Structure 1
Amino acid sequence: MALTFSSSAPASATADAPARVGSAAWARSLQRRILVTDVFVVALVMVLAHGVRFGWDPFAGMAGASGEPTWWITVAISLVWIAELAWVHSRDVRILGQGPEEYRRVGSAGLRTFAIVAIVGFFTQWAISRGYLLFALPLGTLVLFGYRRAWRSWLNKQRDVGRYRTPVIVAGPRRTSEQLIRRLRRTRASGYDVIGVCLADPSSAGLEQDLADVPVLGPIDDAADLVREHHAGAIMLTANDAVSMREARRLGWALEGTGVTLIVAPGIADVAGPRVLMSRHEGVPLLYVDSAAFSGARYSLKDIVDRVGSGIILALAAIPMLIVAAVVKITSPGPVFFRQERIGKDGKPFAMLKFRSMVVGAESRLKEVVGDDVGMFYKPKNDPRVTRFGRFMRRYSIDELPQLINVFKGDMSLVGPRPQIAAEVEQYGDLEQRRLLVKPGMTGLWQVSGRSSLTPEASMELDAYYAENWSLGGDAIIALRTFWAVVGKTGAY
């Protein structure tokens, strides 16, 4: 099968392409607004640092009235910082709203700025205060994180109502294309709106019933022309036998100068960057995927972080937890703590602790609430067994605090898949079993990706992904996102 490409775009595509031009327009507009935010934050933080270190007179010299003014140092560092934010592509529309990669680039810009200033200061013998830099750059980076978080929240809300999304055409085999479309539709935060599909065999039946609204536009042969005709902003090429390596390259050539992005989705999914090495052989990009490991030095370090971290938090939260315990005892007859057997790493049971949020004997009334079918992640809304104060604790996850004791003992981790009861574990398939390869956690990836609002299937996929791809840096991000999820009461009940 050979791909055919026209040498020029249809006249209508160049003269009237509202969807594609609009997509580019919103991207430029959003980038300009975030640039203004970046400049504002950098200027504000640097002026504050300047005032704290050198005083509020911008024309004061470094060595008294006759010394060289210090304002130019602050201006120079600010310009370098702003330039670095652009150099690392921190406002690339492909990562805006996606989270970790955007924050990594913002953090990298701050570190690179610090390195540049330190090197220049060393060779030019600038008398730059290290305290001045150590105050300005970390503080500014944290404030930038906060502003980017606000922009991300706003952008996701816009995408929830169908705005700021890139129209995309998926091209590939029927089954692979269906799987990809379902994943893209799982969350609107991806920023892609699938407007059609080009199949390797378009003569076959349409897509599955749940994707019946996605039209089959034609064969992969006509992909380049169909992208222009339907004003798509991107084409997503899945792994398939219908397009050879040479033809895929020619597809990229055909899209040059059109503003259409070519995205290649590899055949392997749910593998994070740390496990992937890309190398080129004879011009062909190859992905080397390391096998997931579930023991070793990384896990020992994670255990140390868990135990030390839980010990510190327990020390800081001791008095608030005593107050909560007293309120539980006063407002509802019965014990303060609720102990329940949960299944941990490698299928080993342990007693998980929580502040009691339900009436005594709530477990014996489970059937009257959920019936005989206890599904995975069962957690009914408006559960009549929950006490009034228990509902408040659940809203802010206060009832989970005693699990810090489980973490300190080694039964649980601060971050990991949530532990489940034996009845749920009995329903596990191959995918679900992956979550038992790591310690269960107080919070996890699915909690910060939707909490109670996610389907059980989506939650299990996120937990399996975490088990195979976790990192300490990723755990830190999940912990921060947990704070925002709890404060915002996103999906909790």
Structure 2
Amino acid sequence: MRSDGSPSRVRRRRRGKPAWYAPAAVAVDVIGAAVPVYAAFRLFDEAHAVYYAAAVSVAWVLVRAARTRYTWRALGERGHAQPLLRDGMVLVALLTMVRAATGEDSPCHLVPAALVVCLAFTAACQTLTNRHLQARRRDGRGVRRALVIGETAALNGLVNRLSRRTDHEFVVVGVCPIGDDTPNLIAPVAGRLAQRLPAHLSDDSAPVLAAVRGLEVDLVFVVSGPTMAAERLRRLSWALHEDGCPLVVVPGLTEVVQRRVTVATLAGLTTLHVTPPARGAALLAKGVLDRVGAAVLLVLFAPVFAVVGIAVRMDSPGAVLHRQIRVGHQGRHFTLAKFRTMVADAEQLKQELAKTNEHDGLMFKMRRDPRTTRVGRVLRRFSLDELPQLVNVVRGHMSLVGPRPPLPEEVAQYDEVELRRLGVKPGLTGLWQVSGRSDLSWDETVALDLHYVDNWSPVVDLNILSRTLRAVVEGNGAY
């Protein structure tokens, strides 16, 4: 019972995630570890292959369980390569210690080799369950009901942001604004909090707990601000936690990934330390890998260059390559080369087609641009027209991964926020290219580019490069 005599709802329903996620994850890990280990030991005619396979599979499941990979909160969520690799390293270390303690003389190189297959099985299972969960969430299933508390302006911003995205698990079922202003939201007002600091705990807790219970809320978001901070926020957390309801405080910091944020306590205050984006050695390594990778790709794609060049020349009159002035890192201009996909006088015709622009921002895009040639449509569909930009990467004008290189006339209209896109070198591929390309709105394009500028790392670049092949094959937004 709570101090006010009302019942405490300590346990809340876990909504939405299918019950088969946990057994499926365990089964995949068992099979993924046992089968390759057994096959490796049998290949080398080792005795007791079955026992080795069983021991490794049990150890793998125990490592994953100890690192909370089978918890309800983790199952089905987007997996990352780093935690999975760390799990594999823990397993190898554990098996090495067991081998040393027992005096086992089996070939130690067989297990790490077999674990490559095991990690692939686990990664595939994570990907499939995540796609299944994302599909459920797009249909309004597999979500958690949330109540949002805060000042009206901040509350509007958070709720609108959550409603525009489907890559999270929350649906806002009600809001509790602070003060008398009415939020401009579809979510109903489930209660109101006074603008001033309440004299009694119940002044805040009563309307909030009534909303939590009436709407069957799973979690409460509080947008921190001048009227909801320090002692008032602390008191509200007491009431919610006594009722068994989790609390999430939103500090107003946006588009900063978790690895850049550390939490610390200073003089009783909870502080967030935000590290700057990767610089120094990471930036140097990015430049080296860009140039070496682009040089290797130029050699590998040399036959493709020849075939595409001949096709462009035979399809329509004009140069094989189309050159444009683009804006790069810190506003530096450079000449970008692409295979020509349009008629020779495309730039002149652009002025006549200006009114038919189908993009809502500064870029000019048309799904059925009459200037595009027959070969050009094929090249754009599979992004083959971008291949000559590998030369720009080798010369240091561009990176393999980065924002789209803009035109000077676009940059001339940038505001202060949009200019932030020029904080890194433009890329041959990037978040824009793997997230929908021309199907994205201008605001979405800018948001993706700024997210990359603020949070890039070598791991992020590798992830984007791995997603690029799929984006090219699917061709979404390629026109």
Pick the TM interval, shorter chain.
0.7 to 0.9
Structure 1 residue 46 corresponds to structure 2 residue 34: yes
Code of the aligned partner of 1:353: A
Code of the aligned partner of 2:146: V
Give the corresponding residue for 1:33. 21
Alignment of 1:140-219 (within 5 A): 140-201=118-179, 203-207=180-184, 211=185, 213-219=186-192
Structure 1 residue 387 corresponds to structure 2 residue 387: no
Give the 3-state SS of the residue equivalent to 2:86 in structure 1.
Answer: helix
| Partner Cα separation in structure 2 for residue 6 and residue 393 of structure 1 | 69
Between 315-324 and 122-131, the greater mean CA deviation after superposition: 122-131
Give the corresponding residue for 2:438. 452
Give the corresponding residue for 1:65. none
Code of the aligned partner of 2:190: L
Give the corresponding residue for 2:467. 481
Give the 3-state SS of the residue equivalent to 2:301 in structure 1.
Answer: helix
Counterpart selection for 1:466 from 430, 447, 452: 452
Give the corresponding residue for 1:279. 264
Q: 1:381 to 1:90 in 2, by over 3 A?
A: farther
Contact 2:403/2:429 (<8 A) preserved: yes
Counterpart selection for 2:428 from 439, 442, 456: 442
Give the corresponding residue for 2:323. 339
| Partner Cα separation in structure 1 for residue 353 and residue 5 of structure 2 | 64
Return 5+ residue gaps in structure 1 as ranges.
Answer: 63-68
Between 368-377 and 80-89, the greater mean CA deviation after superposition: 368-377
- Give 1:476 shift: 0.8
Give the corresponding residue for 1:410. 396
Contact 1:7/1:254 (<8 A) preserved: no
Structure 1 residue 109 corresponds to structure 2 residue 87: yes
| Partner Cα separation in structure 1 for residue 129 and residue 470 of structure 2 | 14
Q: 1:323 to 1:447 in 2, by over 3 A?
A: same
Q: 1:467 to 1:244 in 2, by over 3 A?
A: closer
Structure 1 residue 239 corresponds to structure 2 residue 224: yes
Residues 276-334 of structure 1: CA distance to partner in whole angstroms, max 9, x if unpaired? 232123554311123457x5332111101111111222222222332222222233332
Give the corresponding residue for 1:66. none
Contact 2:277/2:456 (<8 A) preserved: no
Alignment of 1:214-225 (within 5 A): 214-220=187-193, 221=204, 222-225=207-210
Contact 1:9/1:228 (<8 A) preserved: no
Counterpart selection for 1:80 from 50, 55, 59: 59
Between 229-238 and 140-149, the greater mean CA deviation after superposition: 140-149
Residues 115-137 of structure 1: CA distance to partner in whole angstroms, max 9, x if unpaired? 21123223333234343223222
- Give 1:256 shift: 4.1
| Partner Cα separation in structure 1 for residue 331 and residue 232 of structure 2 | 49
Contact 1:98/1:190 (<8 A) preserved: no
Alignment: residue pair count: 464
Give the corresponding residue for 2:201. none
| Partner Cα separation in structure 2 for residue 257 and residue 447 of structure 1 | 47
| Partner Cα separation in structure 2 for residue 228 and residue 491 of structure 1 | 44
Give the 3-state SS of the residue equivalent to 2:306 in structure 1.
Answer: helix
| Partner Cα separation in structure 2 for residue 357 and residue 108 of structure 1 | 45
- Give 1:153 shift: 2.4
Give the 3-state SS of the residue equivalent to 2:173 in structure 1.
Answer: strand
Q: 1:449 to 1:88 in 2, by over 3 A?
A: farther
> TM-score, length-normalised on structure 2?
0.88
Give the corresponding residue for 1:120. 98
Tell me the C-alpha RMSD between the 2 structures. Answer: 2.8
Give the 3-state SS of the residue equivalent to 1:219 in structure 2.
Answer: coil
Residues 246-266 of structure 1: CA distance to partner in whole angstroms, max 9, x if unpaired? 443444444448664322212
Contact 1:275/1:291 (<8 A) preserved: yes
Give the 3-state SS of the residue equivalent to 1:340 in structure 2.
Answer: strand
Q: 1:461 to 1:121 in 2, by over 3 A?
A: same
Residues 184-222 of structure 1: CA distance to partner in whole angstroms, max 9, x if unpaired? 122211122112211111x21332xxx3x1222212422
Contact 1:310/1:404 (<8 A) preserved: yes
Contact 2:41/2:49 (<8 A) preserved: no
Counterpart selection for 1:8 from 6, 9, 14: 6
- Give 1:6 shift: 5.4
Code of the aligned partner of 2:28: F
- Give 1:487 shift: 2.5
Structure 1 residue 425 corresponds to structure 2 residue 411: yes
Code of the aligned partner of 1:217: A
Give the corresponding residue for 1:89. 68
Give the 3-state SS of the residue equivalent to 1:352 in structure 2.
Answer: strand
Give the 3-state SS of the residue equivalent to 1:218 in structure 2.
Answer: coil
Contact 1:9/1:225 (<8 A) preserved: no
Return 5+ residue gaps in structure 2 as ranges.
Answer: 194-203
Q: 1:128 to 1:245 in 2, by over 3 A?
A: farther
Contact 2:430/2:464 (<8 A) preserved: yes
Give the corresponding residue for 2:200. none
Q: 1:84 to 1:7 in 2, by over 3 A?
A: farther
Q: 1:360 to 1:235 in 2, by over 3 A?
A: same
> TM-score, length-normalised on structure 1?
0.85
